Amino acid sequence: MTKRLLLVLVASLPLCSAISAETLPCRLSPSLAKVLPPSQIVVSWQGPFRWPLHPGDTQQLCVLEQTDTKVPRPLKGSDVTWFSPYPDIATVDSNGLVTAIGPGKTVVVVKCKTCAWPWSAFHELYVEQKLFP
């Protein structure tokens, strides 16, 4: 049996700065939810979208698992493990909060511990030095 993994980044547009990332839901577009196979996981932004990141910036990531009913469920805490292979560029905490450290290109990896399959997904990110303080 061959396992296939579909990785998709769903970006939200910048929102009112008075809304915090913690109050915004992790969402998957309805069109993507229709085609995403069950048990696949997707990494998405939560809160205002920032691209590229600059040293000191943070960005909240979240993970959704597609269900048989095509209603993706958010994965949190003990469901997943986050990892940053280049902590000199960006770090990620156990809740998916990315902190940009220094210029470069890296990925943030998330592994699902409670999914039907032991899926992993990643999101590529760039950190650039600010040209003007």
pLDDT tens digit string along 92-129? 999 999 999 999 999 999 998 888 777 888 888 899 99
In this structure, are residues 28 and 41 in contact, taking their beta carbons and an 8 Å threshold?
A: no
Tell me which residue of 77, 132, 125 sits closest to 101, measured CA to CA. 125
Q: Residue 111: inside a domain, yes or no?
A: yes
Q: Residue 130: inside a domain, yes or no?
A: no
Report the CATH number at residue 13. Answer: 2.60.40.1080
Residue found under tokens 């032991």 = 118
Domain residues for the domain of 54 are 9-124
CA Rg, the chain, in Å? 15
In this structure, are residues 109 and 83 in contact, taking their beta carbons and an 8 Å threshold?
A: yes
Number of domains, the chain: 1
Q: Residue 3: inside a domain, yes or no?
A: no
The whole-model pTM stands at 0.72
Q: Residue 82: inside a domain, yes or no?
A: yes
Q: Residue 47: inside a domain, yes or no?
A: yes
Q: Two tokens at 130?
A: 């600010």
pLDDT tens digit string along 69-101? 777 788 878 889 999 999 999 999 999 999 999
Helix (H, G, I), strand (E, B) or coil at 106: strand
Tell me which residue of 20, 23, 35, 18 sits closest to 10, measured CA to CA. 35
